[in-house]
Amino acid sequence: MNMDNNNNTIASWHTIKPLLSLAAIDILSYIIYFTITAPVSLLGIFTNIANVIVYCKMGFSESSNAHFLALAVFDFFFSLIQLMMRTLYNPVFKGLHNRALLMYLSHCLSHGLYVMVGGSAMMTALIATERCVCVVFPLKVKSSYRKIFLLGIFTNIANVIVYCKMGFSESSNAHFLALAVFDFFFSLIQLMMRTLYNPVFKGLHNRALLMYLSHCLSHGLYVMVGGSAMMTALIATERCVCVVFPLKVKTLLTRRRSLYLMLTVVAYHVAFLVLIYSDPGPPYDAHPQRLAFYYFSLYVIPSTTCFFIVVFTTIFLILKLRQNQEWRRKTSTQTDKSSVKEDKLVRTIIAISTLFIICSFPDVAIFIGQIVYPRFDYNDPQFSNLLLFLFGIGLNSQGVSASVNIFFYYKMSSKFKRVFNACFALKCFGKSVVLEEKTSKK
The average pLDDT across 127-151 equals 48
Q: Kindly state whether residue 9 falls inside one of the protein's structural domains.
A: no
Across-strand partners of 205? 97
441 part of a folded domain? no
Residue 13 belongs to a domain? no
DSSP classification of residue 60: S
**Segment 288-317 mean pLDDT:** 81
Does residue 12 form part of some domain?
A: no
Q: What is the mean pLDDT of the chain?
A: 73
Residue pair 45/184 in contact (Cβ under 8 Å)? The answer is: yes
Which ranges constitute the DSSP H helices of 197-287? 207-244, 249-252, 255-278
The C-alpha atoms of residue 43 and residue 436 are separated, in whole angstroms, by: 28
- Residue 202 belongs to some domain of the structure: yes
* Percent of the chain clearing pLDDT 70 (strictly above): 73
- Indicate whether 332 belongs to any domain: yes
On the question of pLDDT at 312 being above 80, the answer is yes
Number of domains in the chain: 1
CB 413 within 8 A of CB 144: yes
The pLDDT, as a whole number, for residue 370 is 80
User: 70: which strand partners?
Assistant: 180
Range of the domain at 354: 19-421
2 in a structural domain = no
Counting residues of the chain whose pLDDT is more than 90, the rounded percentage is 0
Domain-located, residue 91:
yes
* Cα–Cα nearest to 84, from 180, 205, 186: 186
- pLDDT, tens digit, for every residue of 164-190? 777 776 767 777 788 888 888 887 777
Highest mean pLDDT (candidates 129-138, 175-184, 235-244, 335-344): 175-184
